[in-house]
Amino acid sequence: MKFEFFLARRYLFAKKSNNAINIISSISLMGVIIMAAAFVCTLSVFNGFHELISSLYSNFDPELRIEVVKGKRFDGNNEAFAKVKAIDDILVWEEVLEEDVLINYNNRQIPAIIKGVDEKFRELTSIDDLIVSGKFLLNDSVVDYAIPGVGLAAQLGVNPGFIRPLEIYIPRRSAKVNLSNPSDAFNEGRLFVSAKFAVEQMKYDDNYLIAPIGFVRNMLEATGMSSAIEIKLKDDANIAKIKKSISQILGDDYLVLNRYEQQKESYRIMQIEKWITYLILSFILLIASFSVIGSLSMLIVDKKEDINTLINLGAGKKLIKRIFMAEGSLISIFGALFGIILGIILVLIQQYFGVITLGDGAGMFIVDSYPVKLIFTDLILITIVVILVGYIATTYPVETIINRYYNNKRIK
């Protein structure tokens, strides 16, 4: 152990001549420990919510989605798409067609997004697990069916099994509006409700209506057209590698999106919130580290005889500074270490026992308690910021006081 760290360790743990210094040193260490634990707990909660929302989206979003760069629809029956479809790791290939529509039910008119799918949609997503009422059914030998999100169903006042169908209106292609009979400019269709689904995300629950793709193509007069192709891969498939391969085959006219890219804005907002919180906590830690400044200042005065002895023995200014810089570093290192351990313990308790609930609304939400998740890189970043802030807080008192007194070659 280097000489300066040997002295710093003794100064940190040994009893000082002035009891107030012991108290201030303990407060400094506890402040760093509490802030490091707060870092771990706060970032883990953000990670928990991020994972929770990702799991909700993954129940409805495909692993990969192919969209056209220009325009809204494309024909997927060509040689390039045949090559993509032949990739071994593709388990489910689903053509979908989405469009804005107007739904009329019992004199309630609600704009929505209709999503045309076929029976493979059940294999592509976890739609059966999302059904909250009724059963997944797109058509039978007589009629076509639709599955609205729970929010959309509530706005329309409809439930599975109702005898009255939904009236779907889509503008006709190249149709001109006849003011004497505006309905002529729309294609009209009817769908009975077979079920309701809940993704627990307003984007889907309040806006989406799942319907047979054949029905949507007929309404849009778009035979064989799709707005996207959604893909599910085998469990052991490398998503990034396959995404790159598909992009190379299709070229620049198409986008190949993974789940993150399909919900890019939502994930970006969550990341921004997390790192803004990280910066705020860093500033709070900097303020809390002012106690380290007071602790080191008083320690330097308390150890004036030791410093005078070292000066008389020929110690240089740099050595004296390194001793007290090491003192501040030890406070930061021990504070970061014990704080991270404390934070990990608290996060694990929350993860397995759910001690902190969501309040009186628990039971109304997807989860009853705050979700948490530990990420190793977060722990590394927390350690770095705690030690860095500790270094900044240590530098000022050591540089100022040692420079002031060392010029006189003696501390009085």
Q: If you average pLDDT over residues 61-84, what whole number do you get?
A: 93
Give the CA radius of gyration of the chain.
32
State yes or no: pLDDT of 14 exceeds 70. Answer: no
Structure tokens at 221: 């007069």
Q: If you average pLDDT over residues 343-354, what whole number do you get?
A: 94
> Under a CB-based contact definition with an 8 Å cutoff, are residues 252 and 69 in contact?
yes
In single-letter form, the type of residue at position 78 comes to N
Structure tokens at 252: 């620049």
Q: If you average pLDDT over residues 395-407, what whole number do you get?
A: 73
State yes or no: pLDDT of 285 exceeds 80. Answer: yes
State yes or no: pLDDT of 296 exceeds 80. Answer: no
Q: If you average pLDDT over residues 268-295, what whole number do you get?
A: 84
State yes or no: pLDDT of 212 exceeds 80. Answer: yes
State yes or no: pLDDT of 100 exceeds 80. Answer: yes
State yes or no: pLDDT of 304 exceeds 50. Answer: yes
Q: If you average pLDDT over residues 78-98, what whole number do you get?
A: 95
Q: What integer pLDDT is reported at residue 18 of this predicted model?
A: 54
Q: Within 10 A of 139 (CB to CB), how many other CB atoms are there?
A: 17
> Under a CB-based contact definition with an 8 Å cutoff, are residues 284 and 36 in contact?
no
Residue 13 — very low, low, confident or very high, per pLDDT cuts 50/70/90?
low
Q: If you average pLDDT over residues 349-356, what whole number do you get?
A: 91
Residue 388 — very low, low, confident or very high, per pLDDT cuts 50/70/90?
confident
Map residue 213 onto helix, strand or coil: helix
> Under a CB-based contact definition with an 8 Å cutoff, are residues 233 and 239 in contact?
yes
State yes or no: pLDDT of 159 exceeds 80. Answer: yes
Question: What are the tens digits of pLDDT across the range 214-223?
Answer: 999 999 999 9
Residue 411 — very low, low, confident or very high, per pLDDT cuts 50/70/90?
very low
Question: What are the tens digits of pLDDT across the range 107-156?
Answer: 899 999 999 999 999 999 999 999 999 999 999 988 999 999 999 999 99
Residue 321 — very low, low, confident or very high, per pLDDT cuts 50/70/90?
confident
CA 242 to mean position of chain CA atoms: 24
Helices (H), 95-210: 121-124, 127-130, 150-156, 202-205
